Amino acid sequence: MSANPTVQIQPSGNMQIFIPMILKRKSGRRMVIAPNAVDGAIPEAESKIQAPLVQAIVRSRMWNESLDSGRVSCVSALSRKLRLDNSFVTRMLKLTFLAPDITVAILNGEEPDGLSLSKLLKPLPDDWDEQREVLGFQMT
């Protein structure tokens, strides 16, 4: 976000103020992310990245790698090892099948407003275009 704030006086005499910012829904509340916060110039500013979404994607990848490598024989064994409910582990593992651009957008904090972990863990279509539509990503 490189645009600078501007102030213009309209022919009607009204003042038009442009302040570049991002409105983001995070943890159920609306946040305003200022340009300097996005660019990293304000280190104490809240991150635009939703940690629970990133954590879920990272865990699903690690768990899937454990299954693929043979360190864990099946999802049930993985669930027992993690001391988590089998159905939860199964739903989390499905995050490994997200469209690559959706995964990258989430990791970069560029997901659509309102995307939450509960929405990600609902049954999603296998087709990547359908995933984008269901989760509110722009089709390209």
The DSSP letter of residue 113 is: T
The contacts of residue 38 (CB under 8 Å, 6+ apart) are 1, 22, 48
Residue 138: per-residue pLDDT: 79
Question: Hey, what are 13's tokens?
Answer: 């005499």
108 pLDDT band, cuts 50/70/90, is: confident
All structural domains of the chain with their residue ranges: 7-47, 49-140
pLDDT value at residue 33: 63
Distance CA 99, CA 104 (A): 9
Predicted confidence (pLDDT) at residue 45 exceeds the cutoff of 60: no
- 13-27, 80-94, 96-110, 112-126: which is most confident: 80-94
Cα separation, 131 vs 83, whole angstroms:
30
Kindly report the pTM of this predicted structure: 0.65
Position with higher pLDDT, 1 vs 123 = 123
Least confident of 15-24, 116-125, 127-136: 15-24
